[in-house]
Amino acid sequence: MPATTQARRRPEWIRTRIHETAEFKEVRRLTHDLGLATVCQAARCPNIYECWHNRTATFLLFGDHCTRNCRFCSVLHGRPQPLDPREPDHVAEAVARLELEHVVLTSVTRDDLPDGGAAHFARTVTRIREVRPGARIELLIPDFRGDHQALDIVMQAHPDVLGHNVETVPRLYPQVRPAARYARSLTLLQRAAAYRTLEYPVLTKSGIMCGLGETLEELEAVLRDLRAHGVAIVTLGQYLQPGRSQVPVARYYTPDEFDALRRLALSLGFEHVEAGPLVRSSYHAHEQVAAISC
């Protein structure tokens, strides 16, 4: 898999259909009415029409401004607003009104907050449990700057899935996510995985973007690192440049190449692998957990 092929046009296999169904419009209206942000919109996810049609959305906590400026991401960067104390209630209301069985919560990174927003995550989980006790809750969290106490606050709320994406291979961190640290992310995932017991069978999850200039050998090394640190679920998807200010795509992986990566990851012992051109962290998230539970 050469990493130097210059990507010019998006290939046919990653083009998506724009189709605003009644269900799509309902989710859009509900999130707007409750003043909620979604990563579907903020990150310009190509799956938004499919997911919202299926009445699913990944809620984006802490506002829509991130304190970091990762060069793969289109989420707004700048000085964020104070946390909205009503946000946990609004998210819980949306979950109840959509009758969600699987809820995905993520956030912008808030390095300005003493706990990185950990307590806000925990409060949101608690409120969802109160209004929708049977729903599974999946979190996709930032690294909290390596603050173990912040992670413990989140884990004590007992999310069903704890996700944190390493995003890319270590060599590309300075260019792609300069404020992050690869080793710090692995430590966070390992600490979260240590919470898994028979009484609390939490699943840890991470994701990798392909097409930023990595090699197959580097991808395999990251997969081995994730498995060694207790990660149960891994997602691999095609990086798509969301705007001119983000890093360009180095190459597009074919569906066959993603199939090969999926087989490789499964051979390393992951409990579930989601790999494909349009795969994102929360894409078909409910099906990933169900596949393990069966």
pTM of the model: 0.86
- pLDDT tens-place string over residues 228-277: 999 999 999 999 988 888 999 999 999 999 999 999 999 999 999 999 99
d(CA 158, CA 143): 18
The runs of H, that is alpha helices, within 1-143 are 22-33, 39-42, 48-53, 87-98, 118-131
**Other Cβ atoms closer than 10 A to 91:** 24
d(CA 240, CA 45): 9
Determine the average pLDDT of the residues in 282-291. 65
- In the block, which residue shows the tokens 């004590």? 156
Query: Would you call 52 exposed, middle or buried from its count of C-beta atoms within 10 A (0-12, 13-18, 19+)?
Result: buried
Name the residue ranges covered by the structural domains of the chain: 17-293
Q: Percent of the chain scored above 70 by pLDDT?
A: 79
C-alpha Rg value of the chain to the nearest Å: 18
Q: Report the pLDDT value the prediction gives residue 73, as an integer from 0 to 100.
A: 83
- pLDDT tens-place string over residues 88-138: 999 998 888 888 888 889 999 999 999 999 999 999 999 999 999 989 999
d(CA 18, CA 186): 37
Q: Is residue 45 scored above 80 in pLDDT?
A: no
Contacts of 145 (CB under 8 A, 6+ apart): 111, 116, 184
- pLDDT tens-place string over residues 71-83: 888 777 888 889 9
Architecture of the 17-293 domain: Alpha-Beta Barrel (3.20)
Q: How far, rounded to the nearest angstrom, does the alpha carbon of residue 270 sit from its chain's CA centroid?
A: 17
DSSP 124-189: HHHHHHHH-TT-EEEEE---GGG-HHHHHHHHTT--SEEE---BS-GGGHHHH-TT--HHHHHHHH
Q: Is residue 46 scored above 50 in pLDDT?
A: yes
d(CA 204, CA 193): 6
Decide: helix, strand or coil at residue 268.
Answer: coil
Q: What share of the chain is helix, strand, coil (3-state, %, to 5)?
A: 40, 15, 45
User: Among 111, 107, 73, which residue's Cα sits nearest to residue 239?
Assistant: 73
Kind and range of the H or E element at 224? helix 216-228
